[in-house]
Structure 1
Amino acid sequence: MSDRVILKLGGSVITDKGADCRVNKTALSGIAAAIAGAAPAAQIIVVHGAGSCGHPEAHRFHLDKGAATGQTEGIYVTHRAVSALNDAVTGALRETGMPALGVHPLHVGVADKGRLVAFESRHLGQMLALGMVPVIHGDVVMDLSRGACIVSGDQIVRYLAVALKCTRVGLATDVPGVLDGGRVVPEITPETVRTLQIGNSSHTDVTGGMKGKIDELLGLAKSGIGADIFHVSRLGDFLTGNDHGGTKVRGE
């Protein structure tokens, strides 16, 4: 089997997080071209964040606290927003000739107390075997304790990287890596993270911002899978295995 790579596109690089679900079509076009142009000899799963298409809706309907009987409109509204963004990402990839297909976590994932406990992935393995590119996104899913919850793209990355036995994980963001005092931290481990001052997103983000990403990736590193965080402009470098100037998250 060839390498399996999960590429996470931050919501901030594909939407204007200060606007109401405004997709950055120019950025999406460039990202899609970079993925197609790198033509990596690997199976690729694309996961993307919600950005301004989902976070405001989830916040407005308090989905971070769950959902109750008769109070489920937020599930529909939030899923509709993130699905529209997923269509845009999938469409941009398909315009380059890549056989991309959108996959919605609401249909295949189950959480408990805000954490994924199940996510059907056998069909994803079959898609990859056929040369397809699954495109997955942060979404609202049913939660066994809370009724419903939001699962971030970062949490999905962590779950699927293990389930699909991925060899590489990359997060393309709007910053050059994890910043501490304005400088890029070249490597983070469970030991060194304690000394860092990592902030959260200044925009509405119900999934934890950069700190949430690091927590998920450190958990992934404990499973033996490292991850890289880099500026989206260095996407081609990551896909081709070159230095991307960002941050590596590793285990002990």
Structure 2
Amino acid sequence: MVVLKLGGSVVTIKNGIMQSRKGAINRLAKAIAQARLEQPGLSLILVNGAGCFGHAVVKKHEIKDGVRTLEQKIAFADTHWCVNQLNQIIVRALLDAGVPAIGLPPSSLLNQENKRIANFDLTKVRQFIEFGMVPVFYGDFVLDSVQGGSVVSGDQIVPYLARELKATRMVFASDVDGVCDSDPKTNPNAVCVRLVCEKNKYEVLAKLEGAKTTDVTGGMKGKINELLEEAKITPIFIVNGNRAKRVQKALLGKKVKGTLVKI
């Protein structure tokens, strides 16, 4: 079992308004299909980030810190509608590539408590996997017992699924080559760290900066913080999603340019 996260910055034009990167999505879909052909027994779950389909709406309507008013509830539903559109674009590309993908909305399957996953009904997920299908989740806006509603990011969903479904590895397709000692988008001399382990994790975190375009789910430092505990159980590969072949290799557990997080 492998859980793959397609970063929002890979599948969308992040500063755009509901603009997907269809070429990148199609290339990734074909790479995923090829990995399944190469390893027919590969069980796979996908999670796509929301990118510009979600973050802009959340910021515009100021619902990051809770949903109370009618206007905010409409914004909640609007955010879900927007991110669902992106998910359907990705699912369509996967289907066209020969992958039996099915989009599953987190808002229908999980609840949060103060912005953290409180419960997640995985019954249908397990059934789809056993049936040989590929569930595709996404960053979404969900019910929250404290906030009313809150964002559940793909970076929360991936480790939760990996832990509960006992994945052998997690793969994160980002828009950079891996975890770097500074932001490679602003520093051309940034060096990517090939291994984040118990010995160097604090040093790496100290050097990390927020992503060049900070979204409502945090930059690279926030993402790594989210994953460190899980990396004690399940190894994590972070690769450049703009290089579809690297994603394919990572899915198959092959040697690939990127960062391995293993604590």
Q: Deviations over 1:44-96 (max 9, x none)?
A: 00101001110111111222201114231210111011000000010000001
**1:12 maps to 2:5:** no
Q: TM-score normalized by structure 2?
A: 0.91
Is the contact made by 1:53 and 1:85 (CA closer than 8 Å) also made in structure 2?
yes
Taking the aligned partners of 2:144 and 2:198, their CA distance within structure 1 comes to 29
Question: What secondary structure does 1:245 align onto?
Answer: coil
1:248 alignment counterpart: 260
Taking the aligned partners of 1:78 and 1:203, their CA distance within structure 2 comes to 20
Q: Deviations over 1:143-176 (max 9, x none)?
A: 1111010011010001111111111110011100
Q: Which amino acid aligns with 1:163?
A: E
1:24 alignment counterpart: 21
2:195 alignment counterpart: 187
Q: Which amino acid aligns with 2:132?
A: G
Map 1:155-194 onto structure 2 (within 5 A).
155-181=156-182, 182-194=190-202
Instruction: Say which structure is richer in strand.
Output: 1
Taking the aligned partners of 1:192 and 1:62, their CA distance within structure 2 comes to 37
Taking the aligned partners of 2:223 and 2:136, their CA distance within structure 1 comes to 19
Question: What secondary structure does 1:22 align onto?
Answer: coil
Taking the aligned partners of 2:155 and 2:199, their CA distance within structure 1 comes to 21
Q: TM-score normalized by structure 1?
A: 0.94
Q: Which amino acid aligns with 1:193?
A: K
Is the contact made by 1:217 and 1:226 (CA closer than 8 Å) also made in structure 2?
no
Query: 1:189, CA displacement in angstroms?
Result: 2.9
1:220 to 230, 243, 247: 230
Map 1:71-150 onto structure 2 (within 5 A).
71-150=72-151
2:212 to 198, 202, 211: 202
Taking the aligned partners of 2:9 and 2:211, their CA distance within structure 1 comes to 10
1:236 alignment counterpart: 248
Structure 2 unpaired stretches of 5+: 183-189
Is the contact made by 1:187 and 1:247 (CA closer than 8 Å) also made in structure 2?
yes
1:56 alignment counterpart: 56
Query: 1:198, CA displacement in angstroms?
Result: 1.1
C-alpha RMSD of matched pairs (Å): 1.2
Is the contact made by 1:103 and 1:136 (CA closer than 8 Å) also made in structure 2?
yes
Structure 2 CA distance for partners of 1:57 and 1:190, relative to 1, 3 Å: farther
Query: 1:190, CA displacement in angstroms?
Result: 4.7
Taking the aligned partners of 2:2 and 2:252, their CA distance within structure 1 comes to 11
Q: Which amino acid aligns with 2:14?
A: K
Query: 1:203, CA displacement in angstroms?
Result: 2.2
Structure 1 unpaired stretches of 5+: none
